[in-house]
Each structure stands twice: as structure tokens, then as C-alpha cells.
Chain A
Amino acid sequence: MMCKLMLFELRKTYWLYTASLLVLFGYILFRSQPHGVHDMALWVISILHGYVIGARIFHDNSRTQAFVFTLPLTKTRLFSYRLMFGIILLTISTSIILVLLASGMRNVLQQDLSSPYFPYVMWYELRVLIPVIFYSFFGFAFGMYTMIDAQLFMYLKNFKNYPNIFKFLIIIYSCLICPLFFMILWGRATTVRNDMFLISIVFSLSIYCICVCLYFYQQLEIDS
């Protein structure tokens, strides 16, 4: 049964996952500057990569919903399996990047002897894994969050529990405002030294996103 679910998730995900992964690899392999933690473009690509995984896994249209809800699974367990599957996909992406960088693939592909940065020193460049891991995880959590968002409203609307709607709206918008707020507050003083601070915020946000989703699934299960 679990295997069945995995195959099903894979079928939903693999096109967009492969496409976004190729973009990420392309960027990492062909950028002429050395890689580091401070790289906006890489942040955006990583977030998109994670978002694609999260959104595709947790999105159920009317046809697939019929299949998912016939499975003999509790809602919480379904959530855990999907979460685990997403994390496996992210681990695969990260591992491939690690192997590509550590095998010196960049030096093979970009033999620009006139470049002051050639040859690229792989042990320094492996730092790139820090933003890739954290930002793609954030993208994944955020993708999951947005997909649950629609279901959440439906659920709350059905029960006509207006105080609850208000409560969840605050949570949702806090989560949305959160990164924006910190970006603005710290953005002006953002140097490379502050990147790790930003990453820690992004990571805690990811955790909160996941917790909110888990809470929602638990509520769904209790109510049903």
C-alpha cells in the first residue's frame, strides 16, 4: 500500500521535479563565479525546486482525491508519508549536487583558463549546499502549506466555525508576513555574515509551516 502511494506521488511529481532539478544543476554547474552562501539567484531556484515538490505532492484534484481517500490510511499517516517522500526527493537532489561538486565536474565543464577563479576549489564550493538544503526545504514546506490552504478553507467553511476561520487566517498571514518582515528588517544590513541568520529564520518558518499542516491534518482526523 505504501509502495502504491509512493508510485502514485512519483507519477504526479517526476516531470516538474526533473525540470526544476535540471535548472538547479545547470545553474550550479555553469555559473562562472565561485559558489557561496550569498547568491540570490540560487536562493530563488532552490525555493522553486522545493515548492514544485511540495505543491505537486500535496495537491489532490478531484480524480486523485478519490484514490487517496480510498486508501486504508489515517490522515496523519498520509501526511507523514508524503512529508517523508518529499524529504527523500530533496535528499536525492542534494546528494547529486554534492557528488557533482565533489567530483570536480565544474572544472571539467568550464575549462576557462583565463578566468581568475579557475580551477574552482570544490571544498570551498560545497558551502553552496547550505542554501540549497535550507531554501529548497523552505520551498517544499511553503508549497505544502499553500496546497493545504485551499482545503483548510473548505474545511472551516463546512463547519461554519467563524472564530476558527479568524484564528487560522491570523496564522496563515503571520506565516506569509514573517519572511517579508524579516527580509525588510535585515535586508538593508544584509551582508554575507547575516545570511546564516536569514537561513535560520527560513528554517524555523519551514518547521512552523509543517507544524501548521500537521495540526490541520490532526484536526481533520479528530473531526471526522
Chain B
Amino acid sequence: MKHNIIVRKSFFWLPFAVLIITIFFYPVYQFYINHFSEPESIIKIIDNGYVSGIDVYCNGVYLGQTPIEITKKEFENKVPKWDAPPRQPRLKLFRSLVETPIAIPDYPGLLMSYSPRNLMPDDQRDDIMHFLYDGNHEQFLNNFSYWFNFKKYRCAGVTGIRIESMSSFGFEKRMTYEYYPQVEFLSQQEHLETLLFALRHSEYKPDKAWVEHVRRYSGLLFKELVWQSNKDERLKDAADAIVRAEFNIQEGMNQAECIRVVDDIMARSEKSGSFLIPSLESYAMEMVAPQVLEYICEQYKEFFRSKQPSSRRGVYMTDDKLLNFYRLEGKLARKLPLEYAILKYHPPQIYNYLVYNFSQLEEQNLLRLIGNYQHNKSASLVKQYFEKKLNEERFNRNFSFNLFRQLYNPKLTDWMRNTIEMHSPNSRVSELKVFFESRINDPNYSKTDLTNDIGRSNMNENDKIQLLSKIKVPKSYSNARHILMNNPTGEEYLINLLSKNPNPHFEPFLLETLDKQYRTLEIKRISSSLFGALIKCDTAKTREAILDKWNENILGINKTIIHELSQLEWGDLILTHWTQMLTTTQESKSRVMAVEALARTDTPQSWKVIYEWSGDEDKAIREAALNEINDYKERKNQAQALIKGEIQPDDLLPPAVPYVWNEKDYVKESTGG
């Protein structure tokens, strides 16, 4: 009986006792944590997504691949401090004109092999000011005790000096230093060009060794290859072959095999915590997703069933090269490729599920998926949500406009444009410009309507011209012409734009400007970019006009034309039209210049001419031709050795002069020692 009473009493008292203890002791615990305990600090080194999985070394100690998370204590135990700035195997200066002895005239323009960081003491946050450079680089660089070095596939990376972001969480006084190094891999461009050279010489049919090589370096090379293939269709097969080899994708695969590929892609996303478009994974997803949409939808639903934390961090970046980068932590990253497939193929079987979950969660990411379904209902859901939210004062408008850029629904386009105009009076211009820019590739938005909308909008005239020059319909020129009538300086700006992004519909404008400049003899002023634009425009009429001017050769314009031709990409198809013209060059200096353009054409005909010129009587021409032939041979050998693995990508770079610290500054090793 007594025993029974004790059991009964403890049954009632225990839970309440626990509760009361929690209520009373939680503040005491917090007080202790805040005042007596050592706060735990965490260092995070996260790649910016452009290249992920970078090897990180600090003061010669390997820390692992990004993303890295390490406690400050562990970091300090692992990495010894360095007293003086280390020897820099490579330095890259952007805008410095001073070469020696001072290597660091202006640190934001400097990229170095070892970039310095300091771990800030927690109790001296004001010290952040010490990290701002005041011009005294001796004192500035001597402040640092940790020097980071980045590599990917043993290729050297260089990075600048930046101040890390710092944040603390909750009551626990935990500090987190986040470091997003912007690493540039010096050999990346040279590496790709060498491989493309090899590809051109195998008639754009990649052999197994080539594919294997690109696969091995895919993190650095693949997206660059995709961007190149957007300009040059012939590279698309090579990109396809790499993806197929990477994921073992064959034609006519069955469902089970496609599911294997999707699982593989999800596992990779989880490992890197990110998903990049374009990448091997995004390409593979495009290939297999249409056959396994049912499986993708089921997998995506799992994320709503399981109790995952709902916090997410998504980064969206876009530039001329169109890179989309999404990041999530842990297992949640597995849903990024699934989201991409849903966004791309809009499977109807998951629509209702997305709508239902959006009504419960109000997550803008779900709205992105729903809004791209081209129904009236999805459009009205987006409208309803934003019409309610945009009137709230604390609502983040810029974030929403960022979302608009990712919605391609013809039923929403007009509404989105009007909403941006209405709700961003202060930054209307840039927001509208970014929005219109995102519509240029929208297949559902009539290009003619787009040009008219741009013409009618409130943007400044240069922005309008910039956008119109990118739209490839006849109407864009007539609209641009209308704007140019009131803006005489816009002509020069437009020519510059067209020399970078050619648009054949602006052909009449270019020809008119050429005629006008010849009539008024203003040809010297902007001829270089004008001829660049004419060459890249590459229509029958522009070719004829250039040939006319070539034959006239007023004010030595032929040199300008040759110079512009030699600026084109290696193996550019445009160059093949000009081989005949370049071979007619008579003047010695022009021929020397033409050799480079002919070499870049990289066709048997052009090499035949260069070989002929290598026996020319004129020494300068002969030397230039021989140089190109030697370069060609060297490049061919390099490409072979590179693919065989006999040389590393960094061996393609010209030898660099290392810099050393002479107590005061960085100086070239040979001069200052």
C-alpha cells in the first residue's frame, strides 16, 4: 500500500517538478552562459557556387574542401600562426600600373596566392576597423597571422583580401565568421582553349580521352563549355557526351536507370549543399527527368512529410553568362535538383500539392514553382499573394522582384511589369531594367511586344538602347531609332554595345553610320568598335560594305579591320568568311597582323596561307608566320600532353615571378630577394 502511494505520488509530481526546474533554472543557465562560459565560435568557409569543392589550405595546413565548418578552437589548434606575410607564388594585379618594388598599391585590385585573414577576438568587435585598409600596407599586412590558399584539382587559385561577415545566434553568444572567398583559377581559360583546340582538330567529335579529361576537371570547365556552346552549336555534342559519360546515360534508358541517375544527382547536391545551373547535374537532370516525373514528384513530397527545419537560404545570381545558383544546408539540398526538374517540366501531378502546401507555408520558393505553371489559377495565386503582401510595410520588395524575374508565365507578365512600376518608385529604373532583361529569353513574351513595352517604359534612354540592342527582332531597331532621334550621343553607345553583342537587325543602322562617318570623315573616332560590330553582325550586306572599305583602304582602315578580326574567338565561324580577304593583304605591317587572324581562323585553308607566308621574302612576315606555326605545334603538343595527363593545367600558364615580403612590402623575388 505504501509502495503504491509513493508510485502514485511520484507519477503526479515528477512532470511538474521537471517543469518547475526548467522554468527556474533556464534563466540561471542563460546567465551563466552569457557571463561565465567561453563562447563557442565557428568559422565557415563557403564557396560562392561558381566553383564548388575548393581545397582550402591555411598557413600550409590542409583544412578540407568547401563548404568547411570548423570551431575557432579547433582551427587555432590545427593551424600555426605565421609572423610575416608569406612568399606569393602568383600575384595578379588588375589596375595597378606600379610593378616594382611596391606590389600592393591598392589592395582591392590585387589577387594573391595566399590571401590573409584574421580571426577577430570576440570581445573586441570594434577591431573590425583595423581591417579597413588605410593606405599603409606595411602595417596592414603585418596585422595578419592567417594566410589562406585555394586550389581545385591542383590548379592554383588567387583571391583578394576581404573582410569576413560575422553573425551571432540566439542567447548562446555564439559567433560565426563566414568567409566567401571569390577565387579565380588562373589556368581555367587557357585550359579550356587548349581543349577546344584539340576538339576542333578532331572535327568536334570528342574521343574518350578528351571526355575523360573534361570530366576530371568538370568543376572548372563544364559550365564554361556550356556557355561557349550557346555561341557555337558545334560544341553541344561534346557537352552531351561528357554528361552521358559522367552519369552513364544511354539512349532509350528504362525507368529504373533514370531513377538511379536522379538519385545520384540528389546525392551530389547533398554533398555539395548546392545546385548550379548549368552544371553536369542540371544537364543530366534535363536528360532523364521527362521519363521519371512521377518519381521526382514523389521524392519532392517527402520533404513536406518529414520534419525538416524550414529555414532555407537561396542565392540567385545572374550575369551575362546566366548562372543560377541555389544553396541549402544538409539533406534539404537534395530537393534543389528536384525543384529544377519541376520548374523545367511543370509536372501536372504535383500542382495541387504545391498549391496546398503554399497555402499552409506561404513559402516564396513554392510560389516560384507554382507561378511557372501556365494556368490562370497559378497566375491568380501569385497576384493574390503579392497584392496582399506588397501593401505590408515590412515586406521585402526587392526579394519579390527577384522572384518575378524567375516567373515565366504569360498571364503574369503585364501584371508584374505594372507592379514593379507601381511599387518601386525609388529604384524603378534598375528594377524594370532587370525585369525586362529577364524577359528577353522568355519564349511566351512576344519580342515585338517586349520592344514596344521597353520603348514606352520610364527607363532612361541608355538603358532602353541597351535592352533593345539585345532583342533580335526588326521592331527593336525601329524603336531604338526612335530613341536615338532625341539622343545623339546614344549612337556611339549603341555601336559599342553591338560590337560586344551583335544583332543582325541593326544592320541598317550600322551601314548608315558607316556611310555617314565616311561622308563627314569622322571615321577615326569610333571606327574600331564600328568595324567590330559590322564584322560580328555578319550579314551579306555588312560583309559587302566591309569589303568595299577594305578595297578603298582610306586612312589605313584595313589595319583596324584586321585588328578586329584577330580579336574574335579561336575557330569562330565568322573568320572563315574573311580568309580570302586576308590573303589579299599586300602591305607588310598588315600581313604581319593578318597572320594572327588567319591562325585564329584555324582551318586548313588558313594554315596553308600561313605556311606560304612563312617563306616570304619580308623578314617580319616570315617571322610572324613562323611564330604562329610554332605556337600551333606547341599548342598541339600541349593539348595531347594535357589530355594524356603528362602536364597539368597550370603548366599552360607562362612562368610567374614570385613575390616575397621584405619587411615592408612585397617585391619581386629576383629583384628584392
Contacts and interface: CB of A to CB of B under 8 A. Distances in A.
A104 B387 CA distance: 30
A124 B23 contact: no
Contacts of B352: 121, 124
Contacts of A125: 356
A174 B12 contact: no
A116 B377 contact: yes
Contact of B310 (A37, A192, A212): A192
B307 interface: yes
A116 B381 contact: yes
A213 to B, nearest CB: 12
Q: Which residue of A36, A117, A174, A211 has the most chain B CB atoms within 10 A of its CB atom?
A: A117
A204 B18 CA distance: 14
B355 A193 contact: no
B307 A193 contact: yes
Given A33-B359, A192-B310, A208 B15 contact: yes
Interface in B13-62: 15-16, 19-20, 23
Contact of B360 (A37, A181, A208): A37
Given A116-B377, A193-B308, A193-B309, A174 B20 contact: yes
B384 interface: yes
B361 interface: yes
Interface string A88-105: 000000000000000000
Interface residues of B, number: 24
A38 interface: yes
B360 A192 contact: yes
Nearest to B370: A116
A177 interface: yes
Contacts of B218: none
Interface in A167-224: 170-171, 174, 177-178, 181, 191-193, 196, 204, 208, 211-212, 215
A192 B307 CA distance: 10
A170 B309 contact: no
Given A116-B377, A181-B23, A196-B307, A171 B356 contact: no
B380 A116 contact: yes
A193 B310 CA distance: 7
B353 interface: yes
Question: SS class of chain B's interface: helix, strand, loop or mixed?
Answer: helix
A62 interface: no
B359 A117 contact: yes
Size class of the contact patch on chain A = 20 to 34
A116 B384 contact: yes
Contact of B12 (A38, A171, A193): A171
Contact of B355 (A116, A174, A191): A116
B355 A192 contact: no
Given A37-B360, A193-B309, A196-B307, A212 B12 contact: yes
B519 interface: no
A121 to B, nearest CB: 5
Interface string A122-166: 001100000000000000000000000000000000000000000
A192 B361 contact: yes
A36 B361 CA distance: 10
Given A38-B360, A191-B310, A171 B16 contact: yes
B408 to A, nearest CB: 18
Contacts of B310: 191-193
Interface in B333-376: 352-353, 355-356, 359-361
Contacts of B360: 34, 36-38, 192
17 contacts: A33-B359, A34-B355, A34-B356, A34-B359, A36-B360, A115-B380, A116-B380, A116-B384, A121-B356, A171-B12, A174-B20, A191-B361, A193-B308, A208-B15, A211-B11, A215-B8, A215-B12
Closest 7 CB pairs of A and B: A116-B381, A36-B360, A124-B356, A34-B359, A174-B16, A116-B377, A116-B380
Interface of B: 8, 11-12, 15-16, 19-20, 23, 307-310, 352-353, 355-356, 359-361, 377-378, 380-381, 384
Given A192-B360, A193-B309, A208-B15, 4 more contacts: A33-B359, A124-B352, A177-B23, A191-B310
